[in-house]
Amino acid sequence: MDAAAFDYPALLERVARDVAPLTGSGTPAEYIPALASVDPRQFGMAVADLDGNVFGVGDWQVPFSTQSITKVFTLALALAQGGDSLWERVGREPSGNPFNSLVQLEYENGVPRNPFINAGALVVTDRLQTLTGDASSELLDFLRQESGNPDLGFDAEVAASEQENGHRNAAVAHFMASYGNIDNPVPALLEHYFWQCSIEMSCADLARAGRFLARHGLRADGSRLLTRSEAKQINAVMLTCGTYDAAGEFAYRVGLPGKSGVGGGIVAVVPGQCTLAVWSPGLDAQGNSVAGVAALDRFTTLTGLSVF
Ligand code: GLN
């Protein structure tokens, strides 16, 4: 379908109206105290097309805590810089378990199911740390360049809050280290992981930053980050694993590769067409934004845009 065929501003207004009854439902993440105090009634959505246009509705320019959405970008950087050997250390199968679960790790010998659960993301960050010497700064620089927003930064309060309450992530990292699947010292790795999760971005920033996935691996400046095949692979893993143990339901309702975070944001990709970002802090039991998933569902239903 031709990109010009869609009136994105009108579509976004319609979607926002349709999901308005849902904004405020669900609960903001409570296990990270700095996130628990966010007003759950906020809602924003943005679309970035491949001609450089960005359209938005509601709170689309309000920065929020990106959390696990950053796992997509670290995966892209680790694959771009280190290649396929990453897949010897992390799998590509849906986990069917919560994002911070420990249970599978023991009977699968410390190799996480996929890069989008916390265990898998810790392995990817460990790899990026080995490759670059400063994983979280590498990620932030990349996000600044791709979003065109030089003011993006870490949220020190959120990072500290995660560090203080990060026993489970620390346990996961130490457990994998005991199987030889972590190369860097665990405390340093956790620090980079928490900084990474704390990066604040708006829907506009995220939609822009994710465009390399819709452009089959090409960055904002036209240079190539990923091969076409690698971009396809990341989109595939987002579709099957990007929304944790709700990935099946997300694929059923939205029909796009997507990655959520417990800050209430979700990025979704329409390969060859556009990138979508949505944010509303109220989460469902699996840690995905209630109004966010509903908005993407509505958007793909109204437009027919889907990978299926
Ligand atoms: N920082 C969060 C954690 O590690 C990220 C989880 C998420 O967004 N699903 O627990």
User: Each residue of 137-158: pLDDT tens digit?
Assistant: 999 999 999 999 999 999 999 9
Contacts of 123 (CB under 8 A, 6+ apart): 89, 90, 112, 115, 176, 181, 182
Q: Residues with beta carbon inside 6 Å of ligand 1? A: 67-68, 99-100, 118, 162, 169, 197, 261-262, 287
- Is the separation of the CB atoms in 71 and 259 below 8 Å? yes
- Does 4 score more than 70 pLDDT? no
Mutate to test the pocket of ligand 1, among 73, 118, 293 (most ligand atoms within 8 A of CB): 118
d(CA 59, CA 45): 7
Which residues does 138 contact at the CB level (< 8 Å), separation at least 6?
77, 128, 132
pLDDT, residue 307, reads 94
**Widest CA span of the chain, in angstroms?**
54
Query: In the predicted model, is pLDDT for residue 285 greater than 80?
Result: yes
98 CB-contact burial (10 Å; exposed 0-12 / middle 13-18 / buried 19+): middle
pLDDT digits (tens, 9 = 90+) for 20-72: 999 999 999 988 888 999 999 999 999 999 999 999 999 999 999 999 999 99
Query: Does residue 15 surpass a pLDDT of 70?
Result: yes
- For the stretch 143-148, contacts whose Cβ atoms lie closer than 8 Å and that sit 24 or more positions apart, written own/partner, are 143/70, 143/73, 143/199, 143/201, 143/205, 143/209, 145/219, 145/220, 145/221, 146/208, 146/209, 146/210, 146/211, 146/212, 146/219, 146/220, 147/201, 147/204, 147/205, 147/206, 147/208, 147/209, 148/208, 148/220
Partners of 45 in the beta sheet? 57, 278
Would the pLDDT of 102 be above 50? yes
Query: Average pLDDT of the chain?
Result: 95
Does the annotation count 193 as an active-site position?
yes
Asked if residue 31 belongs to a known ligand binding site, the reply is no
Q: What separation in Å is there between the alpha carbon of 294 and the centre of ligand 1?
A: 21
pLDDT in the model for residue 244: 87
CATH topology of domain 3-303: Beta-lactamase (3.40.710)
Establish whether 186 is a catalytic residue: no
Pick the residue whose CA is nearest to atom 4 on ligand 1. 118
Q: Hey, where are the domains in the chain?
A: 3-303
**Which of 15, 158, 202, 244 is the catalytic position?**
244
pLDDT score at 99: 84
Say what the pTM is.
0.97
User: Would you call 8 a catalytic residue per the annotation?
Assistant: no
Spatial distance between the Cα atoms of 240 and 94, rounded to a whole number of angstroms:
6
Q: Are 214 and 276 in contact (CB under 8 A)?
A: no
Q: Is 118 annotated as a binding residue?
A: yes
Q: Which helix (H) or strand (E) holds 48?
A: strand 44-49
CA of 118 to the centre of ligand 1 (A): 7
Q: Is 244 a catalytic residue?
A: yes
Contacts of 35 (CB under 8 A, 6+ apart): 28, 29, 65, 67, 158, 161, 262, 263, 281
Nearest Cα residue to 16 out of 70, 57, 50? 57
Residue appearing with tokens 């009108």: 10
